[in-house]
Amino acid sequence: MAHWLVVGASRGIGLEAARQLTARGERVTASVRDAKGLAALEAAAPRAATLQFDTRDEAAIRAAANQISDPIDRLIANAAAYGPKRQSSLDMDFDGALDLLSTNTLGPLRVVQAFLPLVRRGRAPRIVMMTSILGSMAIEGTFNVAYRVSKVGLNKIARCLAADLKKENVIVVAMSPGWVRTDMGGPDAPLDVADSVAGVIETTETLKLADTGRYLDYRGADIPW
Ligand SMILES: NC(=O)c1ccc[n+]([C@@H]2O[C@H](COP(=O)([O-])OP(=O)(O)OC[C@H]3O[C@@H](n4cnc5c(N)ncnc54)[C@H](OP(=O)(O)O)[C@@H]3O)[C@@H](O)[C@H]2O)c1
């Protein structure tokens, strides 16, 4: 049994991860940011321990980390948003874009830095930065520029973390869950959330130190940077 920290578990992929992991007997601590999210999490994964913070709020994240003393074996930095309505290269909502970068790019790093002392004490510890194929420079398309940029930046952060933590045997990857039917992915997405999450869990469990710094999808296949 491993101890998993799932960040952003009020709905979508994070909620399903908390549900599947508790159902298979793993120890789960999961975070939400409000009472509505807490109610959803408690209904889907009643055995999960819960934390409450917004990933834009460093003090709140650190206060939550101080509530835990046991080692964390797997950290899934999953929370993210899609960003403002206007986010093309020709018409950008700059305040909305900055807010998105705080959530999607710096938020996961705030979480990792706050919980790192616990992760360092974990068994074969792994950190999954939940990214997107839209963070790949190799993928064409110009819609949702702020979201793309936020995930490009997150990918770079994952690479830097991987390099900095390799000597401590902490594995860090940037992982895409695929295009998934959630609030973010929308109803036309081809992947069911349960299948995506099963892949994320399986791939996380099979990671070796040699995999650190990879950009991969939920099935473990490489994505071009
Ligand atoms: N679905 C897809 O097709 C897809 C594709 C590629 C990548 N991804 C990535 O997969 C991850 C999960 O996506 P999803 O589809 O599950 O999205 P979702 O259904 O929109 O859920 C997003 C989760 O992140 C939380 N969150 C958002 N902003 C937050 C903040 N500032 N602080 C704390 N929590 C925050 C939400 O909490 P609230 O309920 O409180 O808002 C919710 O729990 C994200 O990193 C996303 O970028 C998804």
Residue 51 has a pLDDT of 98
77: exposed, middle or buried (C-beta count within 10 Å: 0-12, 13-18, 19+)? buried
Average pLDDT rounded to a whole number, residues 118-139: 98
What was the pLDDT predicted at 105? Answer: 99
CA of 66 to the centre of ligand 1 (A): 24
* Interval 132-176: pLDDT, tens: 999 999 998 889 999 999 999 999 999 999 999 999 999 999 999
CA 89 to chain centre: 26
User: Domain-by-domain residue ranges, the chain?
Assistant: 3-217
Question: What is the overall mean pLDDT for the chain?
Answer: 98
pLDDT of the residue at 32? 98
The Cα 105–Cα 129 span in angstroms is 10
The distance of Cα 185 from the centroid of its chain, to the nearest Å, equals 15
11 lines ligand 1 (CB under 6 A): yes
Distance between CA atoms of residues 21 and 15, nearest Å: 10
pLDDT (mean) for 106-134: 98
User: Pairing mode, if any, of strands 74-77 and 87-88?
Assistant: unpaired
**In which band, very low, low, confident or very high, does the pLDDT at 62 lie, cut at 50, 70 and 90?**
very high
Tell how far the Cα of 117 is from the centroid of ligand 1, in angstroms: 25
- Give the Cβ contact number of residue 150 at 10 Å: 29
pLDDT confidence bin for 194, thresholds 50/70/90: very high
Q: Distance between CA atoms of 119 and 127, rounded to whole angstroms?
A: 8
Render pLDDT for 83-108 as a digit per residue (tens, 0 to 9). 999 999 999 999 999 999 999 999 99
Plot region of 125 (φ>0 → left; ψ -120 to 50 → alpha; else → beta): beta
Interatomic CA distance for residues 211 and 98, integer angstroms? 31
What is the whole-number distance in angstroms between the Cα of residue 81 and the centre of ligand 1? 5
CATH no., domain 3-217? 3.40.50.720
pLDDT value of position 75: 99
Structure confidence at residue 183 (pLDDT): 98
pLDDT band per the 50, 70, 90 thresholds, residue 55: very high
Task: Name the packing angle between helices 193-206 and 12-23 (round to 10°).
Answer: 60
- Overall average pLDDT of the 123-140 stretch: 97
Least Cα distance to 104 among 53, 172, 55 occurs for 55
Q: Is 31 in the pocket of ligand 1 (CB under 6 A)?
A: no
Per cent of the chain over pLDDT 70 is: 100
